[in-house]
Amino acid sequence: MFIKKLAATRLAGALAAAVALAPAPASAQQFINVLTGGTSGVYYPLGVALAKVYSDNIPGVKTQVQATKASVENIKLIQQGRGEIGFALGDSVKAAVEGDNDAGFPAPVETLRAIAAIYPNYIQIVASRESGITDLAGLKGKALSVGAPASGTELNARAILGAAGITYDDLGKTEYLPFAESVELIKNRQLDATLQSAGLGVASIRDLASSVPINFVAVPADIPAKLGAPFDAAEIPAGTYDGQTEAIPTIAITNMLVTSSEVDEELVYQMTKQMFENLPALVAAHNAAKAIDPKTAAKNLPVPLHPGAERYYKEAGLL
């Protein structure tokens, strides 16, 4: 009996030692869903490039790119745990953390966190030349597309038109359409103008400018002055689009990459680090990425940094 007990004890010890010495199991594959915008905007090509950077440089990661209605939807999907990183306009982020019901956030989104401020969006209001629209007042009585309902672009449209003393009721018709659809309707003479909040050189307006004669509608400096942060006076440089011979005064709003406090710290650290270490890949996807600067990416944010992103900036000497 003693011998059997001794043998059993030795066997148990050997098994315990074997378990202790065995290699640790591989960690479960991590998933990154990159939330972007419409395929004709700037968010989408940058999101595709970002997803490839992550799949190429973060071991054990599987990525997906999701086309969405952009800012507001992206924030809501992140809140629901259905995305790990998303593009959003700074004013939409501010509205989310404050709980702005008119912007689609009946309560503050307390889990929202920042990864980086990236590049500015420019308000670009373009009208067919035959519409005769040359300024904001000229939009009254005309058919205008203001972007997808409750999108970041549509929130921008409400704010800017409101500051100019114009309501949707003053328009002849209000369409809530993505960029590419708006452009097609202008080409087909079913729409007079489109307001698009996007990076310079956005594909939809490039397409329109090369197809039909257009007017760019200026947003005078008193409008951003009335609105205040995060709206800033800016201009669309001459030559950005075909036939655009003069700079156009307008408004710029900072775009951000956001995530949730629930996303793993190490994963967010890697997402932040790999983006900045592979910026040329994003610039190759769209020129708007030329404005992404790690020196300013963690400054003047309307929402707290995620600890993973904060760790990157501190290691890089940027905080």
Q: Do the beta carbons of residue 253 and residue 232 sit within 8 Å? A: yes
Q: Residue 209: what are its φ and ψ, rounded to 5°?
A: -65, -30
Q: Do the beta carbons of residue 104 and residue 77 sit within 8 Å? A: no
CA dist 200 and 206 (Å) reads 10
In this predicted structure, what is the pLDDT of residue 151? 83
In this predicted structure, what is the pLDDT of residue 3? 44
CA dist 93 and 305 (Å) reads 12
The string of pLDDT tens digits covering residues 22-72 is 333 334 679 999 999 989 889 999 999 999 999 999 999 999 999 998 999
Cβ-count burial of 170 within 10 angstroms (0-12 exposed, 13-18 middle, 19+ buried)?
A: middle
Task: Identify which of 152, 153, 157, 175 has the alpha carbon closest to the alpha carbon of residue 76.
Answer: 152
Q: Residue 171: what are its φ and ψ, rounded to 5°?
A: -80, 155
In this predicted structure, what is the pLDDT of residue 28? 61
Q: Do the beta carbons of residue 101 and residue 71 sit within 8 Å? A: no
The string of pLDDT tens digits covering residues 216-253 is 999 999 999 999 878 889 999 999 999 999 999 999 99
In this predicted structure, what is the pLDDT of residue 192? 98
The string of pLDDT tens digits covering residues 165-194 is 999 999 999 999 989 999 999 999 999 999
In this predicted structure, what is the pLDDT of residue 228? 84
In this predicted structure, what is the pLDDT of residue 284? 97
